[in-house]
Each structure stands twice: as structure tokens, then as C-alpha cells.
Structure 1
Amino acid sequence: MRVVTVATEHFSLPDEEATLAFAGKIGRVVAGGQILFLRGELGAGKTTFSRGLLHALGHQGKVKSPTYTLVEPYQLDGLTVYHFDLYRLRDAEELEFMGIRDYFRPDSLCLIEWPEQGMDYLPVADLDIHLTFDQQQRQLSICANTAAGATIIKAITDDEK
């Protein structure tokens, strides 16, 4: 699969609150039919980011990492968010057996942690978000691979100005 990066931006997030706030900005502009890849080492903030995004979309409860269940669904007003964690996936082909293609619908938003574990079975992400922990803060790079992803980046960077 060939991915063409449309736009890339970099941000420093000094603490957990900044990570939640930044994810909230994205949560206010995403829509159904979109896919976000969340990359980073253990503890980089992928689940924290997911929590901020889900809360911005109106989810009131806890957000847990779906490390053992592979996917946690969140039914929100007019949108189903599927939060995947593929860290423990033994074989990418397991995604085919669980019906992975059925999750990518116009009325769903898919957040996928550890997408590299299932790359041959996943479509191109609208946004590819990479979190790293640098001393006392997180660094976030966000790449748009589609026009929808570029629209999201434009909306959040215009908001920063």
C-alpha cells in the first residue's frame, strides 16, 4: 500500500492536560468515515489522546485501553467510535477473522493504536499521529494522508492562530 502524505505538523505537549486538550481539538473536527492511526512506544500517550478525543465527542465515562479486547466501541450521538489496540495481535490475519473491514463505515470513526501490527489489513489512515515522550513533555507529529486528514490539520492549525 502506497501512502502519500498531504500535510505534516509538529507540536509540543508539555503535560497530560495539553495532550487531552489537543486531542479535544481534533475531536471537535473529525467525522464519521475517518481513520486515525496512533503510534508511539508504551506510555507515549496514545490512550490519553484517545480519551481526550472521545470526551470532546461527548463520551462521559472512562476510556480504557483495549489491549486485551482489541477493540472497544463507544456509541455516541450519530457516531460509533471504535478504539483499537493491536499491540497484542499475534498475526495480522486475525483482523480478517474478526471482520475488520466491517468497522470502517461512513458512520464510524476508528482510532487504531499500534497500527503497524496489522498494516496489510488496514486502509490508509486519514491522520497518522505519532507521539513520543521527550524528557518532561510529549512531542506529537501529525500527518495527513488524505484530503479529509488535511482538512482536519487545517482546522486545528487555524484554531492555533
Structure 2
Amino acid sequence: MDKTHVKLISKEPRETFYIGKVLGENLHVGDVVALVGELGAGKTCLTQGIARGLGIPESYQITSPTFTLMNEYPGKIVLYHLDLYRLSGVGALEELGYEEYFRGGGVLVIEWAEKIRDVLPDETLFVSLAYLDDNRREIDIYSGVNRIIMISAALERGGF
């Protein structure tokens, strides 16, 4: 698959959330979103936006499942939110039967996805978040050409 990317600068958490919301509005059942970035880069904030874009009700507080490993949120499309921060690697994940989530009936968002990069589906949407300062983040979104065109257009319509 030809991959390309779009690079954005988020000036504040609200913009990171908005970028996530636009992504969520453009995701479909079976999509996998791999989030990469250091602690505090905005992975959970972006996931909160994705959740709202997927139609997850405001009544659900979207938190990082660092200690539970996986959170599931019902909505127009189910969100499976996986956090691999404490995981040592693919071997530990295999014990949990992670493959069913790649084929599941929802969208899978994976924080610290670099730990399992080799087992991610080819169609995975990669999002890299880099800490620039207390508020600003560089967000690079990588995917196939058609998806990047669609996401770029949606962000432009929203004034980004």
C-alpha cells in the first residue's frame, strides 16, 4: 500500500482533541489506529476526540487503560482502547488474544503501538505525536493515499 502522511501542529489540547474527533468521524468498523509518542504527548487526548467522532456519548469518560490494558466504549461504532505502556512486547499481548480486536466489530486504538508494530495490519492508520512545548504538539498521520486525502479534506473543512 502506498503510504503518505499529513503533518499538523496542535497549539493546545483542544486542537489535539479536535484532530482526534475528525479522525473518528472518518473511521470505520475494523480500522486500527496506532498511536506513538512519549508520555504527555497527547495520545489519550487524541483518543478522547476519536471517541467523540465515533459517536461515543459524553457520559463516557475516556481514560487511558494503563492498568486495565483495554477499555471498551459503546457508541455508533464500538471503541476498543488498548494501552501497551506496561506491556513487555508481543508475547505478553498474544496471551490476551489481541488478534480478535484486529478483526472485531469496532475501531481499535492502540497507545504505545510501537511495541507491536510488526503484528499490526498493513492498513493501520499511524499517528505520531511529538511534544514541542507545554501546549504544542506535532501530529503526523500516516496512511494510504486515499485515506490521507479524505482526512486532510475533513481537517481543512474544519479550519485546520
Same fold (TM over 0.5): yes
Aligned length: 153
Q: Show structure 1 runs of 4+ deviating over 4 A.
A: none
Letter of the aligned partner of 2:86 in structure 1? R
- Residues of 2 paired with 1:119 and 1:56: CA distance? 25
Is structure 2 residue 55 aligned with structure 1 residue 58? Answer: yes
Identity of aligned residues (%): 31
- Residues of 1 paired with 2:150 and 2:67: CA distance? 34
Report the alpha carbon displacement of residue 119 of structure 1 after superposing the two structures with TM: 3.0
The aligned residue for residue 99 of structure 2 is 101
SS at match of 2:88: coil
Whether contact under 8 Å (1:36, 1:125) holds in the other structure is no
Report the alpha carbon displacement of residue 5 of structure 1 after superposing the two structures with TM: 5.0
Report the alpha carbon displacement of residue 95 of structure 1 after superposing the two structures with TM: 1.3
- Residues of 2 paired with 1:125 and 1:112: CA distance? 14
Change over 3 Å in CA distance of 1:140–1:99 after alignment to 2:
same
Change over 3 Å in CA distance of 1:70–1:125 after alignment to 2:
farther
Report the alpha carbon displacement of residue 118 of structure 1 after superposing the two structures with TM: 2.4
* TM-score (norm: length of structure 2): 0.87
Report the alpha carbon displacement of residue 104 of structure 1 after superposing the two structures with TM: 1.4
Q: Map residues 71-86 of structure 1 onto 2, 5 A cutoff.
A: 71-77=70-76, 79-86=77-84
Report the alpha carbon displacement of residue 106 of structure 1 after superposing the two structures with TM: 5.4
Change over 3 Å in CA distance of 1:138–1:156 after alignment to 2:
same
- Residues of 2 paired with 1:74 and 1:152: CA distance? 24
Structure 1 unmatched ranges of 5 or more = none
- Residues of 2 paired with 1:101 and 1:12: CA distance? 33
Structure 2 unmatched ranges of 5 or more = none
Q: What RMSD in Å do the two structures reach over aligned CA positions?
A: 1.7
